[in-house]
Amino acid sequence: MTRKYKVLFLCRENSARSIMAEALLRELAGHRFNAFSAGPEPAARVDPFAIAQLRPGISDLGVLSPKSWLEFTGEWAPRMDLVVALDEAVDARHAPAFPGAPPSCAWHFADPLAEGLREFDRARLFEKVFWQIVRQVSAFIERPEYAVPPCAAACAATIPAAVASSHGATTCDA
């Protein structure tokens, strides 16, 4: 059995960007990663626009829910291998101390929940951010430090195409 890396995605409300990143990492490389997401001000539910983006290619939407990042700070919390901030409000300067002091990095994307967006513009921004996260997660899983044996990599290579085709895209630039 190979080691599964634990990755925590952070976003302020944990209802959109971090949820999409968690779902995509779990779907694309769940055999190699345990994906989690959280935020300092968790929303009551996952944003419907995020669900709309995920529904065509994600097999288990039922496990997704906004969570407080405090759930990942106690002694009982899983020890993360990496913490990824998806907006400036939750980067390493603002985040709490996580057990084991895991390294952190930032993948900043536009906030599709920003105030003042019309519904049409919000839907378009969600789609744009979704594909940016797909590209970032796809590049992340290819990093050498998370390498897998060649036969496992060949099997996993077909999954991103399935997600892309379920969203009506034929290719997804990494």
pLDDT of residue 42: 97
What fold characterizes domain 5-166?
Rossmann fold (3.40.50)
104-139 burial by CB neighbour count: b if 16+ within 10 A, else e? beebebebbbeeeeeeeebeebbeebbbbbbebbbe
DSSP 36-81: EEEBSS--SS--HHHHHHHTTT-S-GGG----BGGGGTSTTS---S
Count, in order, helices (H) and strands (E) of the chain.
5, 4
List the domain boundaries for the chain. Answer: 5-166
Do 34 and 78 contact (CB within 8 A), yes or no? yes
* Percent with pLDDT over 70 in the chain: 83
pLDDT category at 153 given cuts 50, 70, 90 is: very low
pLDDT in tens, 85-95: 999 889 888 89
What's this model's pTM, rounded to 2 decimal places? 0.82
Paired tokens of 40: 């300092």
- For residue 121, pLDDT over 70 is answered with yes
- For residue 166, pLDDT over 50 is answered with no
